[in-house]
Amino acid sequence: MIINAETKIGAIIKDNPQAIEVLISINQHFKKLRNPLLRKILAPRVTVAEAATIGNCKVETILNGLGQIGFEIKSSPINAEETPSNTSAIYNEPDLAASIDVRPDLANGVDPFKNIMDKLSEIAPGNTLLVINSFEPAPLIRILKGKGYHISVISKEPGIVFTYITKTVENGVLKADVKEPSENQDLFEDVLRQYNQKFTEIDVRKMEMPKPMIAILDELDRLKSGKALYVRHKKIPLFLFPELKERHFNYVLKQAETEVILIIYNQA
């Protein structure tokens, strides 16, 4: 596999799982990749360049390490203005409207993205949210900077990073996409007919959380072109939907008395 600074860590791990141990050898922050749920949710969002920011190391260090286990390295210049590490350091802390410490979430294998977005949606334009983490949250910074937020980062002490997020415009509110979707029976039947006999089926109804999401994302990683994933679930999996959007999958659902049927397929 040919990789560069813009290659997603998730794609690298999918190609060669040994990449996890290479990353951990570079920085112990990457131990979180051993957690199946965090690996499935966070790794597909993070590029090599962003991983270097998180791990406080050089991009070349990561690429060279991965090159030693068989990856082919292709150089690609990084535009400093577009990297998440291009955040302004602050010397006088702003007045805070709210703060959230996401370290317990990460320690428990929980993706903190929704909690951060919910907290951010509650503050008014011009106000600032403080996110406390053990590393610089490069993917979050990239997303929010693209929405017009002002980001400042400061390392208080080893292992504690403060990220200040200032809402600059009213329409900059970015809520996690976890609202309950509406059921479209006609669309469900159309997709069902379209993928007739071209399904991979999975039943996650008896699995305990968070195993259903891990199992579904695992199946999607292996889903062959032209096929759809037919999922039998005990409830509507709200936290799955942002991950499907991130991976460019569409879905339709149908609610029955005792289960929810999902059909997940590649976007055209």
- The three-state (H, E, C) secondary structure of the chain, written as one string: CEECCCCEHHHHHHHCCCHHHHHHHHCHHHHHHHCHHHHHHHHHHCEHHHHHHHCCCCHHHHHHHHHCCCCEECCCCCCHHHCCCCCECCCCCCCEEEEEECHHHHHCCCCCHHHHHHHHHCCCCCCEEEEEECCCCHHHHHHHHHCCCEEEEEEEECCEEEEEEECCCHHHCCCCCCCCCCCCHHHHHHHHHHCCCCEEEEECCCCCCCHHHHHHHHHHHHCCCCCEEEEEECCCCHHHHHHHHHCCEEEEEEECCCCEEEEEEECC
Residue 85 lies in a domain: no
Among residues 46, 78, 110, the one where a domain terminates is 78
Q: Do 259 and 215 belong to one domain?
A: yes
CATH number of the CATH domain containing 136: 3.30.110.40
Residue 237 lies in a domain: yes
Residue 124 lies in a domain: yes
Among residues 127, 147, 172, the one where a domain terminates is 172
- Residue 233 lies in domain: 185-266
Among residues 25, 51, 78, the one where a domain terminates is 78
Q: What is the mean pLDDT of each run of 10 residues along the chain (268 residues)?
A: 92 94 92 84 85 88 95 71 47 76 82 84 88 83 81 80 81 50 84 90 88 88 90 89 85 91 86
Q: Do 190 and 262 belong to one domain?
A: yes
CATH number of the CATH domain containing 54: 1.10.3910.10
Residue 196 lies in a domain: yes
Residue 87 lies in a domain: no
Residue 88 lies in a domain: no
Looking at residue 267, what is its pLDDT? 66
Structurally, the chain folds into a number of domains equal to 3
Residue 47 lies in a domain: yes
Q: Do 41 and 105 belong to one domain?
A: no
